[in-house]
């Protein structure tokens, strides 16, 4: 099961991130998880939201370049070694992480980690076999 992330192209200049947030806020879209990758002249904002269709429509309407990306949302215990265990499993099967970001769940002792792998399907297979919980977008939002 994969979660869907929205990626937004941002020029590296002041006010662009604020503009995205303004657009999403006005469209009543709530953000659950967020990360930004930056280079010297542009950035890529990656978000997981409660209503991705609404978010996409609002951003496109405001001339942002956006794409939907499948990512893998993994729930791990928020304890020392939690992430390490997951990465060891993947490393053993030579699955490569393109990028990831993590946050703490509101209602549990777990952490949520969003992964983008070079081979998402294989990663899911590896993780599921090891009994790791993988969440959908909706589940990510509700945690």
- Name the residues that contact another protein, by CB under 8 A: 5, 7, 9-11, 16, 37, 39, 41-42, 44, 46, 63-67, 69, 98-99, 116
Q: Which is nearer to another protein, 65 or 84 (CB)?
A: 65
CB of 20 to another protein, least distance (A): 11
Q: Which residue, 66 or 86, is less far from another protein as judged by CB?
A: 66
Distances (CA, A) of 138 to 50, 51, 89, 121, 143: 7, 9, 26, 19, 9
**For residues 16 and 122, which CB has a smaller minimum distance to another protein in the complex?**
16
Closest separation in Å from C-beta 113 to another protein: 16
Q: Which residues partner with 75 through β-bridges?
A: 112, 133
- CA 57 – CA 101 distance, rounded (Å): 25
CB nearer another protein, residue 35 or residue 50:
35
Min. distance of Cβ 1 from another protein in angstroms?
19
61 secondary structure, DSSP code? H
């Amino acid at each position: 099961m994969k979660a869907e992330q929205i990626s937004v192209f941002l020029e590296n200049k002041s006010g662009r991130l604020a503009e995205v947030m303004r657009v999403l806020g006005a469209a009543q879209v709530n953000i659950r998880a967020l990360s930004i990758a930056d280079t010297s002249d542009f950035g890529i904002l990656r978000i997981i939201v409660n209503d991705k269709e609404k978010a996409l429509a609002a951003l496109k309407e405001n001339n942002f370049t956006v794409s939907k990306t499948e990512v893998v949302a993994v729930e791990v215990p928020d304890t020392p070694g939690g992430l390490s265990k997951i990465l060891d499993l993947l490393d053993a099967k030579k699955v490569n992480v393109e990028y990831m970001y993590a946050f703490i769940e509101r209602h549990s002792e777990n952490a949520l980690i969003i992964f983008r792998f070079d081979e998402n399907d294989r990663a899911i297979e590896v993780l599921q076999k090891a009994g790791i919980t993988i969440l959908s977008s909706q589940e990510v939002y509700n945690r």
